[in-house]
């Protein structure tokens, strides 16, 4: 038995190889845009190529349409062509189609043929890496390149079998040779793109035996095919590996570098005009001394010459990395030329006592400076920690910790962000990133280190009562998990003002969607109805399905956000209140937004779930009319939108107050149903209003009405009569004049004179 000894050097070499492989794998994983696939099967996908859109930014994973790929069953395709390999040196290997013409009936000469085409402007057939080939007897094939539907260049070759294949054994000596007998090949001219490959036969197989039933032509990468006489009987493939040169853009470097969509993003990249592009594209490469993907912003990194032993220093320890290169330096105490050519380094002669004293004094000064600096930094660190602790207590951190510790359900955890994280995410709270302002703070758009886009709410400098509202919002949102309620991701308490981090809802508020001039004409009735139903469902969840019922207390269109698909998300819980399970109402200081406030709540100070129902009724009226709840720009009898709406409904003039473009012949009945529901929500007495659960169910039923249309035409009349009786009940008792003497309006007018302080 032979005994093998593994030395320490062998173990070290093995570890170095493993580290190198790990780094290579990491580098391969970083070739795509953030949030985009890096591989499909075994094929890496470097940017500017890409598959689909980023799951982080939502942007295309490819730089341009020609470079968009798709991954199906672990196979990568460009259009319908399988991709085998992509390099950042400007080449792509694909399995391209074979053109063939085959006999169907030898007696009547009928044949069938197919033509192979490649029409991708960014791809050019590599003239150095491929050959054009044809196989068959009495066969000729050609390769054509087109520019603007006109032939740009053509090449081809011809092959014959002199003995008609009657005795194939006579041709066995041709195996492995493609020299004109049964197989021919030819070089490909440079610059061929938008190609067509077509195979043809001289005699339409009239003189061919069953041993030669097809003539084929194809482009094959160099060394990819060895001819065999057996292939005259049957071609064993229908596609071949082919190399194409690729480029980005539609012009050369000089023209493209000043464009907004210039592809060379890395600071250490350079632009190159490849000859195959013919001035109709360019490539990006890393500068000498750098490596990586030059199409990514931070793609080119310094090549570690010293670590990879790519240097000419006399010894490895003499090598020092520099940006894009390296330098050979002698260590302290030695002099000379540290390169291989310079003879290396030699020890210095140190006999000078003054030098020793000077060095000792310098070391002492450095030690003193380092000690003083360390002491200063430690004091500064302690000061910062104490300040953070102070802010944590000032912003209600102890209250929040106590309340979270008493929660039974800890499955929904709230992330705690540091001040440094949120400063970086918002570029130190740049005012250009402000996306909204409210009564309790300002909202900034931010991007976290993992490229997640978030909304960061920075509260105003608050007193004790406002701190309680901030902590209340954290507690409430941490318990809510509903698709139509904005999600709280976390908070930060170590800054002077508290910060909340939400999911980012990019399409703004329902208020802007309804009232901004650029949006008004685009809001269809079905969209309005769906948004109303989704918001009602969220409020119903808060009232009925949450572990502890939650009263929002500030329901309005400005607090209903819209995402990419215009899905409603209820937000801003700074004024909300949790309702103890043994109570139906809470006595609070009146807060809310004028125009949406429940008159009963304003007069009594008793907050109930029906207060949210009233506010949501105002939202429904906004969806119907497109008008703001209160405006001094309107006539006096129309300043209060709810009063004007109810009057119009009572006088059977509903369709006169609707926003232009909302009503059509198909949705009149739905609009009337929603108007009736809004009037019920606006009843002055809370006990006469429906619950939010009933409102949500009715809106969903109305949405489905077009799928189950009513056939009872009398029902519309009955609903109208019911509406009139409901509106009549809003009048003051004893008033029969039919004029503007409505209790709801009088209450609103009286409330106009009240001082709401900082209430929104």
Which pairs from 174-180 meet CB under 8 Å and 24+ separation? 174/227, 174/229, 175/226, 175/227, 175/228, 175/229, 176/226, 176/227, 176/228, 177/227, 178/133, 178/225, 178/227
Contact yes or no for 183/135 (Cβ under 8 A): yes
Active site residue 554: yes
Quote the DSSP letter at residue 280: S
- Is there a binding annotation on residue 458? yes
Q: In what order do the strands lie in the sheet with 441-447?
A: 415-416, 488-492, 499-503, 453-459, 441-447, 434-438
Report angle CA 491, 493, 498 to the nearest 5 degrees: 80
Contact yes or no for 284/268 (Cβ under 8 A): no
Residue whose token pair is 């703070």: 441
Antiparallel, parallel or unpaired: β 300-302 and 290-292: antiparallel
Q: Each residue of 729-745: b (16+ CB within 10 Å) or e?
A: ebbeeeeeeeeeebbbb
Q: How far is CA 526 from the centre of its chain?
A: 27
What whole-number distance in Å separates Cα of residue 731 and Cα of residue 709? Answer: 33
What whole-number distance in Å separates Cα of residue 30 and Cα of residue 45? Answer: 10
Contact yes or no for 478/548 (Cβ under 8 A): no
Q: Which residues contact 670 (CB under 8 A, 6 or more apart)?
A: 525, 529, 702, 705, 706
What whole-number distance in Å separates Cα of residue 655 and Cα of residue 301? Answer: 66
Maximal C-alpha separation, the chain = 119
What whole-number distance in Å separates Cα of residue 38 and Cα of residue 28? Answer: 8
Which of these, 308, 339, 304, lies nearest to 324 by C-alpha position?
304
- Marked catalytic residue, from 302, 554, 598, 612: 554
- Quote the tokens at residue 493: 């308490």
What whole-number distance in Å separates Cα of residue 221 and Cα of residue 127? Answer: 10
Exposed/middle/buried for residue 136 (C-beta within 10 Å: 0-12, 13-18, 19+)? buried
Q: Where are the alpha helices (DSSP H) in 496-640?
A: 510-515, 517-520, 525-540, 599-604, 609-625
Exposed/middle/buried for residue 151 (C-beta within 10 Å: 0-12, 13-18, 19+)? exposed
Exposed/middle/buried for residue 720 (C-beta within 10 Å: 0-12, 13-18, 19+)? middle
Which of these, 727, 708, 713, lies nearest to 648 by C-alpha position?
727
- Quote the tokens at residue 61: 């994973």
Q: Which residues contact 367 (CB under 8 A, 6 or more apart)?
A: none
Return the number of other C-beta atoms located less than 10 Å from residue 671's C-beta.
20
Q: Where are the alpha helices (DSSP H) in 607-691?
A: 609-625, 641-650, 654-657, 668-681
Residue whose token pair is 């310098």: 362
Q: How far is CA 691 from the centre of its chain?
A: 38
Contact yes or no for 137/190 (Cβ under 8 A): no
Beta strands in 236-316 (DSSP E): 239-246, 269-272, 283-286, 290-292, 300-302
Which of these, 706, 707, 741, 712, lies nearest to 727 by C-alpha position?
741
If residue 44 lies in a helix (H) or strand (E), which one and from where to where? strand 43-44
Q: Where are the alpha helices (DSSP H) in 479-589?
A: 510-515, 517-520, 525-540
Q: Detail the residues annotated as belonging to a binding site.
A: 458
Q: Detail the residues annotated as belonging to a binding site for ATP.
A: 458
**What residues are labeled active site?**
554
């Amino acid at each position: 038995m032979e005994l093998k000894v593994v030395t320490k050097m062998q173990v070290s070499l093995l570890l170095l190889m493993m580290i190198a492989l790990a780094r290579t794998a990491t580098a391969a994983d970083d070739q795509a845009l953030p949030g985009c696939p890096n591989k499909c099967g075994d094929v890496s996908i470097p940017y500017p190529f890409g598959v689909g859109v980023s799951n982080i930014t939502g942007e295309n994973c490819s730089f341009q349409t020609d470079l968009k790929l798709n991954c199906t069953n672990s196979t990568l395709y460009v259009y319908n062509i399988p991709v085998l390999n992509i390099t950042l040196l400007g080449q792509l290997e694909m399995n391209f189609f074979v053109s063939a013409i085959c006999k169907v009936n030898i007696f009547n000469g009928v044949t069938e043929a197919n033509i192979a085409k490649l029409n991708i402007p960014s791809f050019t057939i590599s003239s150095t890496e491929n050959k054009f080939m044809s196989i068959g007897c009495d066969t000729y094939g050609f390769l054509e390149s087109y520019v603007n539907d006109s032939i740009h260049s053509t090449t081809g070759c011809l092959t014959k079998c002199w003995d008609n294949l009657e005795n194939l054994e006579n041709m066995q000596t041709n195996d492995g040779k493609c020299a004109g007998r049964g197989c021919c090949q030819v070089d490909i001219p440079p610059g061929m793109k938008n190609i067509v490959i077509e195979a043809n036969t001289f005699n339409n197989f009239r003189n061919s035996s069953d041993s030669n039933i097809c003539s084929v032509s194809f482009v094959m990468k160099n060394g990819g095919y060895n001819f065999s006489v057996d292939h005259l009987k049957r071609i064993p493939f229908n596609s071949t590996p082919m190399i194409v040169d690729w480029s980005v853009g539609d012009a050369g470097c000089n023209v493209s570098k000043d464009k907004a969509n210039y592809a060379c993003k890395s600071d250490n990249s350079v632009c190159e005009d490849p000859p195959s592009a013919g001035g109709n594209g360019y490539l990006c490469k890393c500068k000498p001394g750098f490596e990586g993907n030059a199409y990514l912003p931070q793609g080119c990194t310094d090549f570690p010459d010293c670590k990879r032993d790519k240097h000419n220093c006399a010894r490895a320890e003499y090598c020092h990395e520099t940006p894009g290169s390296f330098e050979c330096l002698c260590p302290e105490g030695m002099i000379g030329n540290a390169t291989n050519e310079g003879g290396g380094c030699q020890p210095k002669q140190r006999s000078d006592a003054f030098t020793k004293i000077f060095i000792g004094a310098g070391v002492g000064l450095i030690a003193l400076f380092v000690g003083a600096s360390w002491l200063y930094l430690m004091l500064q660190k302690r000061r910062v920690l104490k300040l953070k602790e102070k802010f944590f207590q000032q912003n209600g951190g102890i209250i929040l910790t106590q309340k979270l510790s008493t929660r039974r359900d800890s499955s929904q955890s709230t992330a705690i962000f540091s001040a440094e994280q949120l400063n970086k995410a918002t570029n130190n709270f740049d005012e250009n990133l402000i996306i909204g302002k409210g009564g309790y703070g300002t909202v900034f758009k931010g991007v976290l280190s993992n490229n997640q886009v978030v909304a960061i709410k920075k509260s105003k400098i608050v007193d004790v009562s406002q701190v309680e509202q901030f902590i209340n919002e954290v507690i409430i949102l941490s318990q809510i998990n509903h698709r139509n309620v904005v999600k709280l991701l976390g908070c930060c308490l170590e800054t002077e003002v508290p910060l909340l981090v939400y999911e980012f809802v990019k399409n703004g508020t329902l208020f802007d969607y309804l009232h901004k001039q650029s949006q008004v004409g685009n809001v269809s009735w079905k969209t309005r109805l769906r948004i109303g139903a989704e918001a009602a469902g969220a409020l119903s969840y808060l009232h009925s399905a949450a572990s502890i019922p939650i009263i929002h207390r500030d329901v309005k269109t400005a607090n209903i956000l819209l995402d990419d698909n215009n899905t409603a998300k209820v937000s801003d819980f700074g004024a909300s209140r949790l309702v103890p399970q043994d109570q139906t109402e809470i006595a609070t200081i009146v807060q809310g937004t004028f125009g949406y406030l429940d008159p009963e709540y304003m007069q009594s100070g008793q907050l109930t779930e029906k207060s949210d129902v009233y506010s949501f009724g105002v939202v429904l009226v906004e969806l119907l009319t497109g008008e703001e709840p209160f405006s001094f720009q309107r006539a006096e009898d129309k300043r209060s939108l709810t009063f004007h709406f109810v009057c119009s409904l009572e006088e059977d003039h509903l369709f006169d107050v609707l926003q232009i473009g909302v009503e059509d012949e198909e949705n009149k009945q739905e609009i009337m149903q929603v108007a009736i529901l809004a009037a019920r929500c606006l009843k002055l007495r809370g006990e006469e209003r429906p619950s939010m659960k009933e409102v949500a169910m009715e809106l969903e039923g109305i949405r489905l009405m077009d799928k189950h249309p009513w056939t009872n035409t009398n029902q519309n009349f009955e609903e109208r009569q019911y509406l009139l009786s409901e509106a009549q009940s809003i009048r003051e008792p004893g008033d029969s004049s039919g004029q503007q003497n409505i209790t709801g309006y009088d209450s609103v007018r009286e409330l106009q004179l009240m001082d709401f302080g900082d209430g929104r």
